[in-house]
Amino acid sequence: MKNSFLLLLIFFPFINYAQDDIQKVKSTISKSEIEGHIYFLASDELKGRQTGSPENKIAAQYLANMLRSYGVKPVKESKNYFQKVTLNTTSQFERAELKIGKFSTSKIITINKANTSFSGPFVFVNYGLKEDYININVKDKIVIAYSGTKENSNPRFAFSKIQEKTDIAKEKGAIGIIEVNSINNRIWSQLDHRFNGEKMNVSEEDTPNNFTYLWVNDEKEEISKFFTDKNEVNGSINIQGIKKGKVVSQNVVGMVEGTDPKLKDEYVIYSAHYDHVGIGKAVNNDSIYNGARDNAVGTVTVLSAAENIAKYPTKRSALFILFTGEEKGLLGSKWYVEHPMIPLHKIVYCFNSDNGGYNDTSIATIVGLERTTASEDIKKAATPFGLKAIDDPAPEQGLFDRSDNVHFAAKGIPAPTFSMGFTAFDEEITKYYHQVTDNPDTLDYEYLLKFFQSYVLACRNIANNPKTPFWVKGDKYYDAGIKLYNKK
């Protein structure tokens, strides 16, 4: 009995503190406020929040005003909550055609966007891997290859092989690659919208690239017939009307100083991207890709954290960053880590929120959950609201390295991504992901209330934990963290 009483005395303050934080979270987050933010950000009037568009700027101003209304302060050097992001733009082509014999197609995706005019030999190199070039001369020729590998032709996987195939082809003297796909129209339409639209990169990286890289959709597999008894045929490719330009967009940044005299020198970033893919190909007379799941939900998750922490500051300082340009290649976060407004070695954690969809309302999926020492803080935050925090169910998709968190991770900052509950990339995900159907009225707001509460409580747990979070030993970013924080 005496021992039990002593244990109660020891743990009672911690239990009481945890309950206090739960009440603080509940007091600042409401379903109606969540709905209001999402319905505005994902409204038709914002036209899909395309990076650099007037509507994207309206969204940024809205977010800055919300931070201001909560009492979140601008970082000193910005004064107005904005970090200017200068980007180079490359337009969509006006005309594109591939011809081989009597076959021709305009179902072309430009991976490397450049005007191209070529007439001459096309050389078939199977999958375009190193072993496929043995005894084949491709110097000053364009090679034709199947996308992906023999084992995996999934478009996501195939995209991950582009750099490797480019390096091999250049080494062998080729001047371009045409990858042949056989993809259904719905998936091809998604790829077309993503890659053939206006392309952007940060202005400091604008280096000329004359290497041609195209994807062609050949559903009837007609192209391969030309190479049944030979590996070289003549053909032509013509892509015209691509134009270069510049655009200025903005990250939205605010901060709340921590309350602990020592820990306030450590910052936790709460981040999400607020841009989406804009206007595209019409489906059922709807051409606006509203992006409710991707990523109005994540954006408002961070707003909820900002409102809560501004009212009830945590021991560590908080930095709220809403990124532009994620859909254009993680550009806003890339810009930020190269132009940090707070020195990176003072950032001890980046808690990102990004979403593609959900298919399980009993969970929150945290991509990278077990890769940092803050995993228990995140798991414990989900339970009071009836959710379970799980790790990435599809590591083969490489999701950790496909959101804004990766730029912070690469610098050494522990950086998982908090996402709505999904257990697989099934039809429930793909029917909304980068589709015109991703509208605010298709969301389950009862679930979102629990999801938001879990995120904000996790924020508080991480920011108040006396122990500084770090990578789990053995993680591929562990050594970068050792270097950044000068750990022994």
The pLDDT tens digits of the residues spanning 204-242 come to 665 667 899 999 999 888 998 999 888 999 999 999 999
Q: Could you give the residue range(s) of every CATH 3.40.630.10 domain in the chain?
A: 20-90+248-484
Greater confidence (67 vs 1) lies with 67
pLDDT of residue 19: 84
Sign of dihedral through CA atoms 401, 405, 410, 413? Answer: negative
pLDDT of residue 5: 56
When pLDDT is cut at 50, 70 and 90, the band that residue 199 belongs to is confident
Among 101-105, 237-241, 416-420, where is mean pLDDT lowest?
A: 101-105
Among 41-50, 216-225, 417-426, 439-448, where is mean pLDDT lowest?
A: 216-225
pLDDT of residue 365: 99
Among 86-95, 295-304, 418-427, top mean pLDDT goes to 295-304
Using the predicted structure, report yes or no on whether residue 12 has a pLDDT greater than 90.
no
Using the predicted structure, report yes or no on whether residue 246 has a pLDDT greater than 60.
yes
Using the predicted structure, report yes or no on whether residue 263 has a pLDDT greater than 80.
yes
- Among the listed residues 358, 355, 327, 353, the one whose alpha carbon sits nearest the alpha carbon of residue 426: 358
Using the predicted structure, report yes or no on whether residue 156 has a pLDDT greater than 90.
no
CA-CA distances (angstroms) from residue 63 to 69, 72, 80, 323? 10, 11, 11, 11
97-242 has CATH 3.50.30.30 classification: yes
When pLDDT is cut at 50, 70 and 90, the band that residue 78 belongs to is confident
Residue with tokens 């893919």: 277
Q: Could you give the residue range(s) of every CATH 3.50.30.30 domain in the chain?
A: 97-242
Average pLDDT over residues 94-106: 93
Using the predicted structure, report yes or no on whether residue 382 has a pLDDT greater than 60.
yes
Question: How far apart (Å, rounded) are the C-alpha atoms in residues 307 and 419?
Answer: 20
Among 6-15, 268-277, 290-299, where is mean pLDDT lowest?
A: 6-15
Among 10-19, 85-94, 288-297, top mean pLDDT goes to 288-297
Among 6-20, 222-236, 250-264, 436-450, where is mean pLDDT lowest?
A: 6-20
Using the predicted structure, report yes or no on whether residue 57 has a pLDDT greater than 60.
yes
When pLDDT is cut at 50, 70 and 90, the band that residue 299 belongs to is very high
Average pLDDT score over the chain = 94
pLDDT of residue 488: 79
Using the predicted structure, report yes or no on whether residue 6 has a pLDDT greater than 80.
no
The predicted model scores a pTM of 0.86
pLDDT of residue 160: 86
Question: How far apart (Å, rounded) are the C-alpha atoms in residues 361 and 390?
Answer: 12
Using the predicted structure, report yes or no on whether residue 14 has a pLDDT greater than 80.
no
CA-CA distances (angstroms) from residue 364 to 286, 354, 419? 31, 12, 6
CATH among 3.10.450.50, 3.40.630.10, 3.40.1590.10, 2.60.40.60 for 20-90+248-484: 3.40.630.10
Among 7-16, 77-86, 296-305, top mean pLDDT goes to 296-305
- pLDDT over 90 for what percent of the chain? 82
pLDDT of residue 229: 86
pLDDT of residue 220: 86
pLDDT of residue 210: 81
What does the pLDDT look like over 321-370, one tens digit per residue?
999 999 999 999 999 999 999 999 999 999 999 999 999 999 999 999 99
- pLDDT over 70 for what percent of the chain? 95
pLDDT of residue 463: 99
